[in-house]
Amino acid sequence: MTLTLFPGRATLGDLEQIWRSGIAVRLDDSALPGIEAAAELVRQAAAGDAAVYGVNTGFGKLASVRIKPGDTAQLQRNLILSHCCGVGEPLDVATTRLMMALKLLSAGRGASGITWKTLSVIEAMLAKGVTPVIPSQGSVGASGDLAPLAHMAAAMIGEGEAMLDGERMPAMQALERAGVEPAVLAPKEGLGLINGTQFSTACALTGYFSAIRNLEASVVSSCLSTDAIMGSTAPLEAGIHEFRGHRGQIDIARAMRAVMAGSEIRESHREGDTRVQDPYCIRCQPQVAGAALDILRFAGRTLEIEANAVSDNPLVLVAEGKIVSGGNFHAEPVAFAADQIALAIAEIGAISQRRVALMVDPTLSFDLPPFLTPAPGLNSGLMIAEVTTAALMSENKHLANPCSTDSTPTSANQEDHVSMAAHGARRLKRMNDNLNVIIGVELMCAAQGVEFRAPLTTSPALQGALALIRSEIATLTDDRFMAGDIARAAALVAEGRVQGECDVATLIAGEAA
């Protein structure tokens, strides 16, 4: 199966499908005229006398050096090889493939001067499973993601390394084995391939997709925790949230009402409950998760725009018949979006961790046994699982410090203000991995707490979630080796299974309200 992309019109849903499914990608044929018109303008400039940056000049601080017409092809190859300076762990295959698709989208707008023939090499690599090995460190987010994209372009011309069928090998070997003809770069094509924000944007997008999934899981975990401590659902009443007016808060409260509907536990203490108010981590979940949802939606829209953007330099303005230098490679919008996503991840984890702490603390957990073990003292129960969530919560707080406020001059001060978007985007995976665990442990604690309320049962929706949890993680009786339980709980969250059990995405969207 192949997904056809229409440059300028790709949706977040399209991009998530590329990342999660590994689907092949191609540009729609309607992009061909614009692509070739831009390439023709570049060919004319390369044969002309006027200096055009990156076509017949050097790069960066060397832009004043003219290149002879006969050397323009070598210029592009040299550019790719000299910029392959990335270090660190390779970017994962799924995110690398998304990055490649983003480059197709950008060049497909017909303003980069990259030929259809060269772009077809990216399409063929995606179809045949040839994935460049992209070191994850080396970009400062301007002048584009130069080093990571250079490693991608190097694989296209048979240099560097690539993955094929799970094996790492020289790129030329991978291309030959897959039957893909390597690219031969025309004027400006090397520059067009490495100049842009596709590495940062791909990493930020995957961070966004995972954060949304974590947010949805937190709706389930917070509802289950509310029943575990026999908390009130009065703070979920629609009128409260309508008076505040924030869309995310309204949506989260509506979803929580639906997920908790029909809970016997809640009905058992609706009358005569002496508690006037629950702690904030229970009472304010719509306000906190709702604010996170609002900021994630804003960041997602920013990244959707950037995914469809032309972000290299110079740009070929076909209608005006000229090639113009600009600054679309500066990834400040991506950096801001990544910082916003990081804040949301940190806060979703912070309030989830407080619910974990609430449930294991016998002075706060409303008749639940200490550390949720039926035999406290001899057994420690979920004592240290809570400590793990505290450690990961604090780590995420540290990681949430903004990256976009940092900058350092590079390239002999020609590139004197940079975005650090790559730093901001790369850390999101680590933060989401931490959040998977925090929410996973909350689910373990809440499941244990709800079971202590038997014979009363939780809501039908949450009973389904509880059954799923118990299919992977047994009820904790005597102490046992728990690392595997935590890993399985985190996987339930990361894979979208527990939130899918309650159809939270639909409930948040309001389609089943």
d(CA 283, CA 267) in angstroms, rounded, equals 17
Strand-pairing partners, residue 24, are: 2
CB 339 within 8 A of CB 403: yes
**Which token pair is 182?**
């390597």
On the CB side of 185, CA atoms within 13 Å amount to 28
In three-state secondary structure terms, 510 is coil
**Which token pair is 351?**
């309030």
Kindly give the residue spans of alpha helices, DSSP state H, lying in 308-410: 332-360, 383-399
d(CA 209, CA 212) in angstroms, rounded, equals 5
CB 56 within 8 A of CB 43: no
The kind and range of the H/E element at 226 are: helix 198-228
> CA dist 317 to 309, 314, 323, Å?
14, 9, 6
Strand-pairing partners, residue 69, are: none
> CA dist 423 to 299, 334, 403, 454, Å?
16, 11, 7, 48
Q: Which of 14, 18, 35, 53 is catalytic?
A: 53
Q: What are phi and psi for residue 165, nearest 5 degrees?
A: 55, 40
The kind and range of the H/E element at 128 are: helix 116-128
In three-state secondary structure terms, 434 is helix
In three-state secondary structure terms, 491 is helix
The strand ranges marked E within 218-300 are none
Q: What is the bridge-based pairing of β-strands 161-164 and 167-170? A: antiparallel
Kindly give the residue spans of alpha helices, DSSP state H, lying in 376-495: 383-399, 421-451, 460-472, 483-494
**Which token pair is 139?**
């970009």
d(CA 419, CA 141) in angstroms, rounded, equals 5
Q: What are phi and psi for residue 3, nearest 5 degrees?
A: -95, 125
d(CA 292, CA 217) in angstroms, rounded, equals 13
d(CA 243, CA 476) in angstroms, rounded, equals 42
**Which token pair is 246?**
């924030």
Residue 128 CB neighbours (<10 A): 17
CB 200 within 8 A of CB 334: yes
On the CB side of 7, CA atoms within 13 Å amount to 22
Residue 53 falls in the annotated catalytic set: yes
Active site residues: 53
